[in-house]
Structure 1
Amino acid sequence: MRNMLFWCRRSVLVALVCVGLIPPLGARAAETVRVGVLKFGTVNWELDTIKHHKIGEKHGVDVDVRFFAGEDATSVALMAGEVDFIVSDWLWVSRQRASGEDLTMFPYSTSVGALMVPSESPIKSLADLKGKKIGVAGGPIDKSWLLLQGLARKEKTGDLAADNDIAYGAPPLLAEKAQQGELDAVLNFWHYCARLEAAGFRRLVSANDAAEALGASGPVSALGYIFHESWAKAHPDAIAGFMAASAEAKALLGSSDEEWLRLAPIIKADGQALTVLRDRYREGIPNRAIEDEEKDAAALYAVLADLGGEKLVGSSKTLMPGTYWRAK
């Protein structure tokens, strides 16, 4: 299956070259694209793969990686024109478009968080959580947390936020507290969940499970590469080249175990932890048509707008047109 996915992506790249959407190799000079990321974020695994194997140059782009201390800083840098791309979620893109900005995105990853419990825990379902202490990364209006609340509401198993002792906190702190036995369950970002899994925890339910139960037909890319539509229209070769480089890097990470061994010092994991991170990353490689992603995102948007209100989605009650990039 993984090999098939690799060759399918490669065939797509070849087809794009043939129809002229991506100019052939060597047909254009490399154009610099500036990507703003967190210094220790998982996006670096893909970007390092692009840089190490000179995949960007192959597709006519020079990827200039710029590091920031936090997500807010990357957002400010994008809005100020200091970088061309950042990675964030489709909800933020839609909210910005509703405010008049021309941001858009293409999918980066469908990997999302999950509720994790110790392997020996008696908790087997959402219904078993009542009265428990749950750690939640991302805050009270985190998408994954809201989707899980929506699932509990649909299954009529209670109100997760009201029926439990909720501890909001930073992802590494919550992961540590979970391992120390201070939490009955923890909802964390996907890579912290993978490390917990390697340490003997098990998934109770993931945000993707909740999303599909609430109307999505498949995994929706929680994160995407975000950029200004006006910039993309002014730099068609750069956007096409960067998209192609991203797809090729993902194909390599999806097929080569050796590449993960090379990345181990950057990931700061080895053994079982590296294996689980690799496998969970691969599960999150987007492989659906943009049209399907957008349709499902619109369905989930309605659910999230109901659960999170204006604090989450802003003034728009529906996903804004243009949230997902389509080259003209």
Structure 2
Amino acid sequence: MKALVATAVLWSAPALAAETVRVGVLKFGTVNWELDAMKRHGIDAKHGVDVEIIPFAGEDATGIALQGGSVDMIVTDWLWVSRQRAEGGSYVFAPYSTSVGAIMVPGDSPIQSFADLSGKTLGVAGGPLDKNWLLIQALALRDAQTDLSNDARIIYGAPPLLAEKARSGELDAVLIFWNYAARLEAEGFRRLVSGEEAAKAFGASGPVATIGYVFDEAWAKEHADAASGFIAASKETKQLLKASDAEWDALEPLVNAGDAATLAVMRDRYREGIPARDVVEEEKDAAKLYQVLEGLAGEKLVGPGKTLDPGTYWSGLKNGS
């Protein structure tokens, strides 16, 4: 009887509690789609973590929260990570998405090339130091002898505002983030050139993750199971979003596509951005692009580092995590 009681106690013992990972995200950012699916399906718990989603109003606020210890992880680019490391920080990067922005023009626009943008009004999201904008400017100058910053009328602004101005015809073309570009595509706009095309023109051998999950290397060492568990949960969730159209129907309240056609385009463009390459190859390409960007914008963009910091990409990825 005692043996039976002991066995019953063992069988009823609760599993060890999952470790909480606090992820800081933009309130309406696309990362919420992945994290929502992850939580709804218990994929985080499956990998031993309990993801706590902490929303912020702006990207600068997420960086401050990470540096202040209010969150364990944020989503940003490898330029930020390398710059922080060059200035004494110890943050690391794990690829999240290769999706990048593109110059979009109306479907019936006469604009077919960089040269056709001369004298036209071009909206640019992300500001004058946006890396896609820098690469596209360099490509236009190299291949078409077109200096977009001088030959076109440039209007900087927030993506939602620029998208509306493109729809109303106030802009002849717009360089905008991938999710807004997908919405415009569903409305009949076409892509003139993308940031990915520009990156390949300057030496990238394949798609490079522009943004990734970023966390402190010291935290990852202290919480190794949580760090590797979260990355594993992220990869599994991406595969779910890649395989299941029904999952996108469930995400519609967050995506807020408005109609089935737009949702389908946004779904397809998201799937195209799921990283699929070996992280070592991505890192090599990121290092090439860093050199180009450093040459284009210097310290005001990349900080004091002349090359991509060798510790930028999290070593746990290279060890098979």
Letter in 1 for 2:310: P
**4+ aligned runs moved over 4 Å, structure 1:** none
**Structure 1 residue 130, shift from structure 2 partner:** 1.1
Match of 2:123 in 1: 135
Q: Secondary structure at the match of 1:161?
A: helix
Match of 1:192 in 2: 180
Instruction: Work out the percentage of aligned pairs sharing the same amino acid.
Output: 66
Q: 2:289 aligns with which of 300, 308, 311?
A: 300
**Structure 1 residue 316, shift from structure 2 partner:** 1.0
Match of 1:95 in 2: 83
Q: 2:269 aligns with which of 259, 273, 280?
A: 280
Match of 2:47 in 1: 59
**Structure 1 residue 157, shift from structure 2 partner:** 2.8
**Structure 1 residue 100, shift from structure 2 partner:** 0.4
What is the 5 A alignment of 1:149-298? Answer: 149-269=137-257, 270-298=259-287
- Asked if residue 309 in structure 1 is aligned to residue 298 in structure 2, the reply is yes
Q: Aligned partners of 2:300 and 2:276: how far apart in 1? A: 31
Q: Larger Rg: 1 or 2? A: 2
Are the counterparts in 2 of residues 151 and 213 from structure 1 also a CA contact under 8 Å?
A: yes
Q: Aligned partners of 1:248 and 1:298: how far apart in 2? A: 27
Q: Aligned partners of 1:255 and 1:28: how far apart in 2? A: 31
Are the counterparts in 2 of residues 150 and 303 from structure 1 also a CA contact under 8 Å?
A: no
Q: Aligned partners of 1:295 and 1:29: how far apart in 2? A: 38
Letter in 2 for 1:298: A
Q: Aligned partners of 1:106 and 1:29: how far apart in 2? A: 25
Q: Aligned partners of 2:91 and 2:293: how far apart in 1? A: 20
Q: Aligned partners of 1:232 and 1:154: how far apart in 2? A: 42
Match of 1:17 in 2: none
Report the TM-score when normalising by structure 2: 0.93
How many pairs were matched up?
303
C-alpha spacing 1:252/1:163, structure 2 compared with 1 (3 Å):
same
C-alpha spacing 1:27/1:183, structure 2 compared with 1 (3 Å):
same
Match of 1:23 in 2: none
Q: Aligned partners of 1:153 and 1:315: how far apart in 2? A: 26
Q: Aligned partners of 2:216 and 2:17: how far apart in 1? A: 22
Once the two structures are superposed, residues 146-195 of structure 1 have per-residue CA deviations (whole angstroms, 9 ceiling, x without a partner) of: 01011112203311111110000010000000000001100001100000
Q: Unpaired segments of 5 or more residues in structure 2?
A: 1-13
Once the two structures are superposed, residues 273-294 of structure 1 have per-residue CA deviations (whole angstroms, 9 ceiling, x without a partner) of: 1000000000000011111111
Letter in 2 for 1:30: A
Are the counterparts in 2 of residues 150 and 214 from structure 1 also a CA contact under 8 Å?
A: no
C-alpha spacing 1:28/1:126, structure 2 compared with 1 (3 Å):
farther
Once the two structures are superposed, residues 216-269 of structure 1 have per-residue CA deviations (whole angstroms, 9 ceiling, x without a partner) of: 000100000000000000011001100010000000000100000010111111
Q: Aligned partners of 1:158 and 1:124: how far apart in 2? A: 14
Letter in 2 for 1:202: R
Q: Unpaired segments of 5 or more residues in structure 1?
A: 1-25
Q: Secondary structure at the match of 1:294?
A: helix
Match of 2:19 in 1: 31
Match of 2:8 in 1: none
Letter in 2 for 1:164: A
Report the TM-score when normalising by structure 1: 0.91
**Structure 1 residue 27, shift from structure 2 partner:** 8.3
- Asked if residue 43 in structure 1 is aligned to residue 35 in structure 2, the reply is no
Are the counterparts in 1 of residues 114 and 144 from structure 2 also a CA contact under 8 Å?
A: no
Letter in 2 for 1:305: E
Letter in 2 for 1:297: A
Q: Aligned partners of 2:20 and 2:124: how far apart in 1? A: 38
**Structure 1 residue 28, shift from structure 2 partner:** 5.6
Q: Aligned partners of 2:145 and 2:112: how far apart in 1? A: 13
Are the counterparts in 1 of residues 122 and 172 from structure 2 also a CA contact under 8 Å?
A: yes
Q: What value does the CA root-mean-square deviation take over the aligned residues?
A: 1.1
